[in-house]
Amino acid sequence: MRQGVISAISTPPGKGGVAIIRMCGDGAIGIAERVFFPISGKALSSYPPRMQVYGRIMENGRVIDDGMATYFIKNASYTGEETVELSIHGGVLVTRTVLELLYKMGTIPAEAGEFTRLAFLNGRLSLTEVEAIGDLLEAKSTEQLKLFSEDSRSRLKNKISEIRDSLTRLLGSVYARIDYPEEDLGELGDEEILRELVSIRASLSHLISTYRTGRAINEGIRTVLVGKPNVGKSTLYNLLLGEDAAIVTDIPGTTRDTLSATVPLGRVLLHLTDTAGVHTEDVTDTVEKIGIERTLGRLATAELVLALFDAGDEISDEDMRIIELVKDSSATAVAVITKTDLERSELKDKLSRHFDEIISVSALSDPDGTIELITNTVERLFTDEKIDTSSDAIIASARQHGALCAALDFINTAIEAYRLGIPADAASSDIELCLGAIGEVDGRAVSDEVVSDIFSRFCVGK
C-alpha cells in the first residue's frame, strides 16, 4: 500500500455535465480544505461526513471552478481510507486544472484500480466482489449488469462465506476430537462430520454448476458462421448485429476474409465471426485462399458453430466438407437451414446425425422470428434456464471456477477418507486444503500476482 494521498479523475475523460475527482488517504480532508472553500465560510470538516457541500475551488485567491465536495472518514468510505470527492464542471481543461492543483498540494496520481485495491486490502470488498466490479465496468449487455450488480455480488459473497464458515466449524470440531480424544470435546461424531461434508459438497457442486451460465453471460461464446459460398452467412451475420456490417451480394465468394463482432444475444454474449465460404476445389485467388485458411483457424477454437445449409439445394461436396469440419471440431454444432420455403424433409434427416441442433430459418422474410429462434437455441445449449441472475449466486470467473473445483476435489477426498475409516487427523488435512481453496476464491489466500493481474484491468479513477 502506497503512502500519501492519491488522486484521480473518476469520471470518463471529455466534456460532460459533471466530473468527479477523488482523493484518498490520510490527510485528504486537510488537502481539500486548502483548495475548496464552502460558500458558507465554514471549513469543510465542520460539516457532517457524507454531506455534499457547495463551494468554490480556489488557488491563491483565484476561483478555478465552483462545485460540491463530500468527505468520508476512515473506515466509512468505499476504500476504507479518508476520502474526499469533488464534483465539478465536466470540461477537459477545468478537470485537468483542478487535478494539477491537487498535485501541487501534495497528492500523487492514482494507479489503475488503486481505489478499489485499497477497498480490497482494507477488507471492504472480497476478491469476488472486485472481479464483479471490474466486469461491471466492461458490461455489454443488460444480463451482465444484473450478473455484476451489488445484489448479485452480495449473494455470491454470502454463499462463499457460508461454505467457509461451515468448513471452519467442522475443522474446529475435528481438531477438538484429535487434541482431546478422551474428553469428547468435538461437537460432531464421525457420522455427523460425514453428513456435514456431504452437505458442503452439495453446496460446492451447485455453485460450480452455475459457471457455464455465468461464463456464457460474462465471457461470451466464440461463435463461427460457416457454409458454402452464397448460402446466407453474411445476411445472418448482419441480422444478428442489427446493422449492415458485411457486404451481401448474389455473387459467390463476396466474403473473402473473416469479420468479427461482439453481439448480445438474449442472456448470452456471442463473439461472432462471419467467414469466407468453404470450397472443395482449389482456390487460385490469393485473398480468398487466405480467407478460407482463416475460416479453418476460427473453427479450431470455436465453442459454437452455426453451419448454414440451403434448403433449395442438394447436399453438395462443399456441404459435406463443412459437415466433416464440424465433426472434427469440439464445438457445439447447430445446423441452420435457410430458405425454408423450399425445404425438403430429407435434408434434416441427413444433418441430424452430425449436429447437436437443427433449426430452420428464413432470415430475409422473418428477421424477428429468426433471431428469436437462434436466441432460444443458444440459450438452451449454453445456459441453465433455472438459473436467475436476479436471485441466484453465480460464478462467472475462470479463477473462481478453478478454485471451487479444487475445493470440491479436497472435499471428495475427505469424504472418502471418513468412509474408509482413515484416522481423523489424516482426513482433516483435506478439509484444511478445501478451506484454503475457498480462501483463494474470496482473496483470503490468493497470491499477489493474481491480485495484481485482476487490478491491472481496471481504469484509473476506479
The predicted-structure confidence for 112-133, as pLDDT tens digits, reads as follows 888 888 888 888 887 778 777 7
Exposure string over 186-207, b if 16+ CB within 10 A, otherwise e: bebeeeebbebbeebbebbeeb
Percent of the chain clearing pLDDT 70 (strictly above): 82
Which of 45-49, 251-255, 315-319, 399-403 shows the highest mean pLDDT? 45-49
Q: State yes or no: pLDDT of 330 exceeds 90.
A: no
Rounded-to-integer distance, Cα 103 and Cα 96, Å: 11
Residue 443 grid coordinates: 482473496
6-110 CATH:
3.30.1360.120
- DSSP assignment of 339-395 equals -GGG--HHHHHHHTTT-SEEEE--TTT-HHHHHHHHHHHHHHHHS-TT--TTTS---
Question: pLDDT band at residue 272, thresholds of 50, 70 and 90?
Answer: very high
Q: CB of 100 within 8 A of CB of 59?
A: no
Q: Say what the pLDDT of residue 229 is.
A: 81
Q: CB of 118 within 8 A of CB of 81?
A: yes
Q: Say what the pLDDT of residue 350 is.
A: 78
Q: CB of 417 within 8 A of CB of 410?
A: no
Cβ-Cβ contacts under 8 Å for 241 (sequence gap 6 or more): 261, 263, 272
Rounded-to-integer distance, Cα 44 and Cα 23, Å: 14
Rounded-to-integer distance, Cα 309 and Cα 336, Å: 6
Beta bridge partners of 406: none
> Which tens digits make up the pLDDT trace of 212-233?
999 999 989 999 998 888 788 8
Q: Say what the pLDDT of residue 249 is.
A: 45
In single-letter form, the type of residue at position 150 comes to: E
In degrees rounded to 5, what are phi and psi of residue 279? -105, 165
217-382 CATH:
3.40.50.300
Rounded-to-integer distance, Cα 237 and Cα 254, Å: 14
Q: What is the mean pLDDT of residues 272-281?
A: 73
Helix (H) or strand (E) holding 307: strand 304-310
Q: Say what the pLDDT of residue 342 is.
A: 54
Q: Is 258 exposed, middle or buried (0-12, 13-18, 19+ CB in 10 A)?
A: middle
Question: pLDDT band at residue 370, thresholds of 50, 70 and 90?
Answer: confident
Q: What is the DSSP letter of 139?
A: -
Q: Say what the pLDDT of residue 404 is.
A: 95
Long-range contacts of 90-94 (CB under 8 A, 24+ apart): 90/11, 90/14, 90/15, 90/16, 90/17, 90/18, 90/19, 91/15, 91/19, 92/13, 92/14, 92/15, 94/19, 94/64, 94/65
Rounded-to-integer distance, Cα 208 and Cα 403, Å: 10
Work out whether the CA dihedral 235, 237, 242, 247 comes out positive or negative.
Answer: negative
Q: Which residue has the higher pLDDT, 76 or 189?
A: 76
Helix (H) or strand (E) holding 179: helix 150-179
108 CB neighbour count, 10 Å cutoff: 16
Per this entry, what is the length of the chain? 462
Q: Say what the pLDDT of residue 296 is.
A: 75
Q: Say what the pLDDT of residue 248 is.
A: 47
| CA-wise closest residue to 131 among 148, 106, 119 | 148
- The residue ranges of every structural domain in the chain are 6-110, 130-210+393-455, 217-382
Rounded-to-integer distance, Cα 380 and Cα 374, Å: 10
Among 128-142, 200-214, 324-338, the minimum mean pLDDT is found in 128-142
In whole numbers, what is the pLDDT of the chain averaged over residues?
A: 83
Within this chain, domains 6-110 and 217-382 share the same CATH topology: no
Q: Say what the pLDDT of residue 291 is.
A: 60
Q: Say what the pLDDT of residue 254 is.
A: 45
Rounded-to-integer distance, Cα 326 and Cα 198, Å: 40
Q: What is the mean pLDDT of residues 149-177?
A: 85
Q: State yes or no: pLDDT of 246 exceeds 50.
A: no
Question: pLDDT band at residue 90, thresholds of 50, 70 and 90?
Answer: confident
Q: Say what the pLDDT of residue 256 is.
A: 46
Q: Which CATH superfamily is domain 130-210+393-455 in?
A: tRNA modification GTPase MnmE domain 2 (1.20.120.430)
Q: Say what the pLDDT of residue 252 is.
A: 47
CA 381 to chain centroid, in Å, comes to 19
Q: Which residue has the higher pLDDT, 361 or 277?
A: 361
Q: What is the mean pLDDT of residues 304-325?
A: 84
Q: What is the mean pLDDT of residues 159-168?
A: 90
Q: Which residue has the higher pLDDT, 316 or 244?
A: 316
Q: Say what the pLDDT of residue 247 is.
A: 45
Q: What is the mean pLDDT of residues 52-75?
A: 94
Q: Which residue has the higher pLDDT, 182 or 421?
A: 421
> Which tens digits make up the pLDDT trace of 8-60?
998 887 778 899 999 999 999 999 999 999 999 999 999 999 999 999 999 99
Rounded-to-integer distance, Cα 280 and Cα 272, Å: 24
Q: State yes or no: pLDDT of 403 exceeds 80.
A: yes
Q: CB of 129 within 8 A of CB of 153?
A: yes
